[in-house]
């Protein structure tokens, strides 16, 4: 059994239960064997970790006990506990015909270290499970994980590998077993999404933005002109259209965003020809819109943490203020901006600072109407607060 010693500088954090094993906190890690267990010590024994190299670190604390192996019973208990949390919260009771389940059938049922086992997430989409693995070490336990899910009824089971394998970063996805259907139609309140669960690392909707989409549809879109930047499959555009927007404009650089946005409109019986869909760089679109003197009542900013095109490179931690200024220029007075980021490198306080700087630079005033972080099914552990990555502000231009 490997023994790991945390250096004194980091004792306090790990004694309080910090979950991620980071390189700078360890004195004697040596070679990491993917999937190996390790007993971890500060000035005393603090628990057992499962090792697996990923972008965040080299493993996760999974127990405060001295485990010698991870058998099927251990992993089965973790998944059962996660399911029980959702069942106890009637809103997310996917096992029974709760009111929520009658019109929404996509949730996260296992959220990594928030549910006691880092490096893995499990999402439920209309009776299908998608298991995402973020390290080769955790992937070593795929059989136990799939076996644990087998006791639940499902249509199909999928896996997605999102980790470095033999030195090369990969994102692959595979149908595991069951009945493979493409697309499936997933319900979310009054919206329907056609999803292809075996088509890339991202299936076509981000579950963490569920409540924000609902607010767009129920409150902020009616009779408004809406600009949805970094629109991907047009999920926010759909929410706005269903909510009565007079017109939506979707902008994304990916070529497939055109057909995906058209499809999501068609599935919801909305004529996509009544809306604008642009396949182009968002920053180029900002230039175009300014030149044409276009303005919108609602602008949605939900960029990836990092993005690049032929002419532009974007980092949320470095460039969000600049991006926000571009949005301000295109927003009508008394209009709204939905500013969002999934970048885990800064917290909500710093995010608000980026927004404030942008408005000061543009000599404009604003009011924050609402703010959102991750929904309840994205369970967060106090031992790893960095996992609460989502930050959303709904802003009013004054």
Q: What is the mean pLDDT of residues 341-351?
A: 95
Report pLDDT for 164: 67
Q: Which of 102-106, 285-289, 392-396 has the lowest mean pLDDT?
A: 102-106
- The 10s digit of each residue's pLDDT in 95-122 is 664 445 568 899 999 999 999 999 999 9
93 pLDDT higher than 90: no
Taking domain 2-63, whether its CATH number is 3.40.1190.20 is answered by no
Which pLDDT band, with edges at 50, 70 and 90, does 221 fall under? very high
125, HSE (Cβ side, Cα atoms, 13 Å)? 28
- How does residue 29 score in pLDDT terms, banded at 50, 70 and 90? confident
Task: Please report which confidence band the pLDDT of residue 170 belongs to, taking 50, 70 and 90 as the band edges.
Answer: low
pLDDT(46) > 90:
yes
Does domain 206-397 fall under CATH 3.40.50.150? My reply is: yes
Mean pLDDT of the chain: 92
Residue 181 has pLDDT above 80, yes or no: yes
Percent of residues, the chain, with pLDDT higher than 70? 95
Q: Give the per-residue pLDDT at 165.
A: 58
Question: pLDDT of 129-168, one tens digit each?
Answer: 999 999 999 999 999 999 999 988 899 999 999 886 554 5
What pLDDT is attached to residue 171? 58
Per-residue b/e over 281-304, b at no fewer than 16 CB within 10 Å?
Answer: bbbbbbeebeeeeebbbbbbbbbe
Q: Would you kindly state where each structural domain of the chain is located, as residue ranges?
A: 2-63, 72-187, 206-397
pLDDT for residue 54: 86
> Does the structure show a pLDDT above 80 at 344?
yes
Looking at residue 98, its pLDDT comes to: 47
* 358 and 328 Cβ atoms separated by less than 8 Å: yes
Q: How confident is the model at residue 128 (pLDDT cuts 50, 70, 90)?
A: very high
Task: Domain 72-187: give its CATH superfamily.
Answer: RNA methyltransferase domain (HRMD) like (3.30.750.80)
Residue 234's region, left for phi above 0, alpha for psi from -120 to 50, else beta, is left
Exposure string over 91-120, b if 16+ CB within 10 A, otherwise e: ebbbeeebebbeebbbbbbbbbbbbbbbbb
The DSSP letter of residue 243 is T
Predicted confidence at residue 200, as pLDDT, reads: 76
């Amino acid at each position: 059994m490997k023994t790991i010693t945390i250096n004194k500088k980091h004792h306090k954090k790990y004694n309080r239960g910090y979950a991620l094993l980071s390189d700078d906190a360890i004195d004697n890690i040596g070679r990491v064997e993917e999937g190996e267990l390790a007993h971890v010590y500060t000035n005393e024994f603090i628990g057992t970790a499962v090792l697996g190299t990923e972008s965040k670190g080299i493993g996760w604390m999974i127990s405060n006990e001295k485990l010698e192996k991870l058998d099927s019973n251990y992993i089965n208990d973790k998944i059962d506990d996660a399911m029980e949390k959702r069942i106890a919260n009637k809103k997310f009771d996917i096992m029974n015909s709760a009111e929520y389940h009658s019109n929404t059938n996509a949730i996260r049922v296992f959220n990594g270290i928030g549910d006691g086992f880092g490096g893995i997430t499990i999402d439920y989409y209309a009776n299908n499970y998608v298991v995402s693995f973020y390290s080769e070490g955790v992937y070593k336990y795929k059989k136990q994980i799939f076996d644990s899910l087998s006791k639940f009824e499902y249509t199909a089971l999928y896996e997605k590998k999102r980790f470095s394998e033999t030195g090369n970063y990969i994102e692959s996805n595979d149908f595991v077993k069951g009945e493979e259907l493409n697309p499936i139609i997933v319900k979310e309140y009054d919206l329907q999404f056609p999803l292809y669960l075996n088509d890339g690392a991202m299936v076509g909707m981000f579950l963490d933005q569920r409540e924000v989409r609902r607010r767009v549809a129920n409150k902020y879109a009616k009779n408004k002109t809406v600009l949805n930047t970094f629109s991907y499959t047009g999920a926010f555009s759909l929410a706005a259209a269903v909510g009565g927007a007079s017109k939506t404009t979707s902008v994304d650089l990916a070529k497939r965003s055109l057909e995906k946005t058209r499809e999501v409109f068609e599935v919801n019986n909305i004529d996509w020809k009544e809306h604008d869909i642009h396949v182009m760089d968002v920053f180029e679109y900002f230039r175009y819109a300014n030149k044409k003197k276009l303005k919108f009542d609602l602008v949605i900013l939900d960029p990836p943490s990092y993005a690049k095109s032929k002419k532009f490179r974007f980092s949320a931690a470095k460039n969000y203020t600049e991006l926000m200024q571009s949005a301000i220029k295109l927003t009508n007075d008394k209009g709204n901006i939905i500013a969002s980021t999934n970048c885990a490198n800064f917290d909500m306080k710093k995010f608000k600072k980026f927004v404030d700087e942008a408005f000061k630079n543009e000599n404009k005033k604003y009011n924050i109407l609402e703010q959102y972080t991750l929904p309840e099914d994205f369970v967060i552990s106090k031992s790893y607060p960095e996992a609460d990555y989502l930050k959303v502000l709904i802003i009013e231009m004054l």
